[in-house]
Structure 1
Amino acid sequence: MGLLNHPSVRVAALPLTFVMLALFSTESVCAQIRFDKNLLRKDDAWFRSEEAKSVANSVIQYQSPQGGWPKSTDLAKPPSSPDDIPPPGGARANSLDNDATTVPMQFLARLAHVTRDTRYKDSFLKGVDYLLAAQYPNGGWPQFWPLRKGYYSHITFNDGAMIRVMHLLRDVADGETPYGFVDETRRRKAAAAVALGIECILRCQVVVDGVPTVWCAQHDAKTLAPAQARSYEHPSLSGSESAGVLTFLMSVDEPTPEMIRAVKAGVEWFDSVKIEGYRYTRSETQRALTQDPQAAPLWARFYEIKSNRPIFSDRDGVVKYDIQEIGGERRGGYTWYGNWGEKVASGFAKWAHREAD
Structure 2
Amino acid sequence: MKNIIYILVVCMLALSSCATAQNVSKSDVKTDSIADKMLVYQLSNGGWPKQLEDKSVVKYEYPLTKELLSKIKATSPLHATIDNNATSREINALVLAYKNTNNPAYLKAAENGIEYLLMAQYANGGWPQYYPDKSSYRAEITYNDNAMINALTVMLNIVDRTNGFEVVDAKYIPKAESAVKRGISCILKTQVVQNGKKTIWAAQYDENTLQPAKARAFEPASLSTSESVGVVRFLMKLKNPSVEIKDAIKNAIEWFESTKIVGFKYDKIGDKDKGLVPNAEAVSWARFYDFNTNKPIFGDRDNSIKDRVEDISQERRNGYAWYGTFAQNLLAKEYPKWLKAN
Name the TM-score, length of structure 2 as normaliser. 0.84
- The yes-or-no answer on 1:233 pairing with 2:219 is yes
The corresponding residue for 1:336 is 322
Structure 2 residue identity aligned to 1:116:
N
3-state DSSP of counterpart to 1:276? strand
Alignment CA distance shift 1:324-1:256 (3 Å): same
- Equivalent of 1:285, from 269, 272, 285? 272
For residues 148 and 205 of structure 1, what CA distance do their matches in structure 2 show? 24
- Equivalent of 2:38, from 56, 59, 65? 59
Structure 2 residue identity aligned to 1:235:
A
Q: Is the 8 A contact 2:94 2:109 kept in 1?
A: yes
- Please give the residue correspondences for 1:48-87 in structure 2 after superposition, counting only pairs within 5 Å: 53-71=32-50, 72-77=57-62, 78=64, 80=66, 81-85=69-73, 87=75
After superposition, the CA RMSD in angstroms is: 2.0
- Equivalent of 1:178, from 164, 169, 172? 164
**Greater CA deviation, 191-200 or 74-83?**
74-83
Residue 312 of structure 1 and its aligned partner are, at CA, apart by 0.6
The corresponding residue for 1:297 is 283
Q: Who wins on radius of gyration, i.e. which is larger? A: 2
Structure 2 residue identity aligned to 1:316:
D
Q: Is the 8 A contact 1:246 1:263 kept in 2?
A: yes
Alignment CA distance shift 1:181-1:265 (3 Å): same
For residues 49 and 291 of structure 1, what CA distance do their matches in structure 2 show? 56
Residue 58 of structure 1 and its aligned partner are, at CA, apart by 1.3
Deviation string, structure 1 residues 200-233 (Cα, Å, up to 9, x no partner):
0000001111111110011111111110100111
Alignment CA distance shift 1:311-1:85 (3 Å): farther
- Equivalent of 1:106, from 92, 101, 117? 92
The corresponding residue for 1:276 is 262
Q: Is the 8 A contact 2:91 2:113 kept in 1?
A: yes
For residues 176 and 340 of structure 2, what CA distance do their matches in structure 1 show? 25
Deviation string, structure 1 residues 91-132 (Cα, Å, up to 9, x no partner):
xx2010111111111111111112221111110110010010
- Equivalent of 2:187, from 201, 213, 217? 201
For residues 132 and 65 of structure 1, what CA distance do their matches in structure 2 show? 15
Residue 144 of structure 1 and its aligned partner are, at CA, apart by 0.5
Alignment CA distance shift 1:282-1:96 (3 Å): farther
For residues 242 and 45 of structure 2, what CA distance do their matches in structure 1 show? 34
Q: Is the 8 A contact 2:44 2:77 kept in 1?
A: no
Residue 276 of structure 1 and its aligned partner are, at CA, apart by 1.2
% same residue: 38
The corresponding residue for 2:201 is 215
* Greater per-residue strand proportion: 2
For residues 297 and 281 of structure 1, what CA distance do their matches in structure 2 show? 13
3-state DSSP of counterpart to 2:60? coil
The corresponding residue for 2:104 is 118
The corresponding residue for 1:192 is 178
Gapped regions of structure 1 (runs ≥ 5): 1-47
Q: Is the 8 A contact 2:298 2:312 kept in 1?
A: yes
The corresponding residue for 2:54 is none
Deviation string, structure 1 residues 138-159 (Cα, Å, up to 9, x no partner):
0000111113211111100000
Q: Is the 8 A contact 1:301 1:335 kept in 2?
A: yes
Alignment CA distance shift 1:79-1:227 (3 Å): farther
For residues 256 and 268 of structure 2, what CA distance do their matches in structure 1 show? 22
Residue 334 of structure 1 and its aligned partner are, at CA, apart by 0.4
Alignment CA distance shift 1:89-1:179 (3 Å): closer
